[in-house]
Amino acid sequence: MDRDSVLSRLEALLAEERACIVALDAPGVERASDEKQALLDALRDGPALDAALRARVEALRPALQHNLILLAHARDALRDALAALRLGGLATSGAAASRPASRIHVTG
């Protein structure tokens, strides 16, 4: 795959990764992360990038940062949801024991 194709795939992959993050699709995020690393390795391991390709790589920075922020928020939301479930699970007798299992909606 030539470098132009690598960058085109990376650009598309960032949008795919973002959709997986928003959907809390952990396997999709992991697949995107693995492919993203392979694409970045392909860029790094070749000869120096020309000015046009360097500019395209630099233009990816906001999308990369955006996805990183979304990942951090998703991680925090899941951590908080799990903590809430653990706290709710402390009551094991009386009325709390007869309630149905708690459900938490974390996608908005």
The tens digit of pLDDT for each residue in 74-95 reads: 889 889 988 988 887 654 555 5
Q: Which long-range contacts (CB under 8 A, 24 or more apart) does 12-21 make?
A: 13/39, 14/60, 14/63, 14/64, 14/67, 15/63, 17/67, 18/63, 18/66, 18/67, 18/70, 21/67, 21/70, 21/71, 21/74
**pLDDT (0 to 100) of residue 85:** 87
pLDDT tens digits along 14-50: 999 999 999 989 999 999 999 999 999 999 988 888 9
Has residue 97 got a pLDDT over 60?
no
In a domain, 46, yes or no: yes
Please count the structural domains in the chain: 1
Residue 78's pLDDT is 84
Q: What is the pLDDT of residue 107?
A: 56
103 within a domain of the structure (yes/no): no
Within-domain flag for 50: yes
pLDDT score of 106:
56
Q: Does residue 104 sit within a domain?
A: no
